[in-house]
Amino acid sequence: MNNSEISKPKGKLGVLIAGLNGAVSTTFIAGVLSVRKGLGKPFGSVTQMGTIRLGNRSENNFPFIKDFVPLAGLNDLVFGGWDIRNENCFESAMEARVLDRSDLELVQEELEEIQPMPGVFEKRFVVNLNGEYVKKAANKFELAEQLRSDIRNFKNENKLDRLVVIWCGSTEIFLTMNGVHSSLSMFEEAMKSNHPDISPSMIYAYAALQEGFPFINGAPNLTTDIKALTDLALQKGLPIAGKDFKTGQTLMKTVLAPMLKARVLGLSGWFSTNILGNRDGAVLDDPDSFKTKEESKLSVLDGILQPELYPDLYGKYYHKVRINYYPPRGDNKEGWDNIDIFGWLGYPMQLKVDFLCRDSILAAPIVLDLVLLMDLAQRCGFKGIQDWLSFYFKSPMHSAGTVPEHDLFIQQMKFKNTLRKIMNEEPVTHLEEALS
């Protein structure tokens, strides 16, 4: 790829969000609007605040990522999307109680103008919610047609040049891939016959890809993992990325586990528990939705520790993850980790982590980065699964036969080297000083 071939981010970039009125979405939108007005800084956004080293360390060349790669500017973003609650984004942001009223009032007018389109919803997939503001049609294929028409109208009405679609909706129940997901034609047939294994998030992803736009999955749902949709992305030449934003406890896990492995310290148990009181917590209180999240959260340790290579160190560890719905905390999640480790001659030690985080404050900058980077990926002509964006996900999508990388620092290196490659710079291998 020659950087002169990358089309510049001219004009407006639409951001269509499924789950527009959720805590993550409204915190993201209100945050971008505030940053645009100079009311706050986009802390946590690597594209906005991070730098990238070019050349040898001694060259002291560390441009900001946003100055190095051609990303859309924050003023060019136009927000819209769907929800199953008919509220404007100001009302929803107030209800989410993530950002303070005094901060939200400074962008109230803009937030009030952002209204959701009715969503595609089926209660079976999120049993703890009721969809009151939903599309109706004879079958799931027709629902997809309605979403496609929403996307076209949004693009035309807002005179957009480009668009990215992202799922920030609730976590759906656990599903595994089966025959109806195995090819595009089977999938389309299944939509027409209202097959129960076609979830709403899949219908949004299908609509986005059919309309020619990248799709990001921020939740642990199966969604674009299915062959029908990865094939569709490849066929249409579009990037897809997912899944499940890597924010609090898993972020910590993918930092601490590589440290244990780097020093070949053993692990006998890792117990993770959380209290969370927002709507996401209420949804995850349903065992079938929690199972989807649990699978996503459990996968990281084995991926990093490779017990098959290190049976003495990691062959027998016990790993448990719990999420407890506890309304008084709202979005301010508290996550505890108790980690039982062992060292020299097997002597036991313990690590305790108590992370008093804010779920949506950690997720909002990830949404911003992913939207900008997927728009970049599309302009670079990247198609299919974007595993260089694993850095942002708990459960990175990967093609059949490849093993996902979970170690945050390897993911970061891959991410930055991809940006270097896009811009025809040498990858940083950290070898040059050692070998010179």
Q: Compute CA 2 distance to the chain's CA centroid, rounded to the nearest angstrom.
A: 28
Answer for which of 65, 74, 84, 166 binds ligand NAD (CB under 6 A) is 84
How many angstroms separate the first and last alpha carbons of the chain? 29
CA distance 242 to 364: 15
Q: How many residues bind ligand NAD (CB under 6 A)?
A: 34
Q: Is 406 in the site for ligand NAD (CB under 6 A)?
A: no
* H helix and E strand count, the chain: 17, 11
Answer for which of 23, 29, 304, 377 binds ligand NAD (CB under 6 A) is 23
Cross-sheet strand order for the sheet of 162-167: 117-118, 77-83, 13-18, 162-167, 215-217, 239-242, 384-385
CB count in 10 Å sphere of residue 424: 10
Residues 385-404 that bind ligand NAD (CB under 6 A): none
Q: Is 85 in the site for ligand NAD (CB under 6 A)?
A: yes
Closest CB to ligand NAD among residues 199, 313: 199
CB of 129 to ligand NAD, least distance (A): 6
Provide the CB-side half-sphere exposure for 105 (13 A, CA).
Answer: 3
CB of 268 to ligand NAD, least distance (A): 28
CA torsion sign, 383 to 387 to 391 to 397?
Answer: positive
Residues 88-107 that bind ligand NAD (CB under 6 A): none
Q: Counting beta carbons within 10 angstroms of the beta carbon of residue 416, is it exposed (0 to 12), middle (13 to 18) or buried (19 or more)?
A: buried
Q: Is 31 in the site for ligand NAD (CB under 6 A)?
A: no
CB of 53 to ligand NAD, least distance (A): 29
Residues 187-216 that bind ligand NAD (CB under 6 A): 200
Closest CB to ligand NAD among residues 289, 418: 289
Nearest CA-CA partner of 160 in 78, 283, 282, 276 = 78
Q: Return the residue nearest ligand NAD (CB atom).
A: 22
Structure tokens at 250: 């898993």
C-alpha distance from residue 289 to each of 125, 139, 140 (Å): 8, 24, 21
Stretch that binds ligand NAD, among 113-121, 314-322, 372-380, 409-417 (CB under 6 A): 113-121
Q: Is 135 in the site for ligand NAD (CB under 6 A)?
A: no
CB of 380 to ligand NAD, least distance (A): 26
DSSP string, 202-234: HHHHHHHHHTT--EEE-SSSSGGGSHHHHHHHH
Stretch that binds ligand NAD, among 141-149, 240-248, 308-316, 337-345 (CB under 6 A): 240-248
Q: Is 168 in the site for ligand NAD (CB under 6 A)?
A: yes
Stretch that binds ligand NAD, among 115-123, 225-233, 305-313, 415-423 (CB under 6 A): 115-123
Binding mask 43-82 for ligand NAD (x = CB under 6 A): ---------------------------------------x
Residues 275-314 that bind ligand NAD (CB under 6 A): 278-280, 283
CB of 132 to ligand NAD, least distance (A): 9
Q: Which residues contact 229 (CB under 8 A, 6 or more apart)?
A: 181, 187, 202, 205, 206, 209, 223, 240
CA distance 330 to 375: 32
Chain contacts with ligand NAD (rule: CB under 6 A): 18-19, 21-24, 82-85, 119-121, 126, 129, 168-171, 200, 218-219, 244-245, 247-248, 278-280, 283, 359-360, 362-363
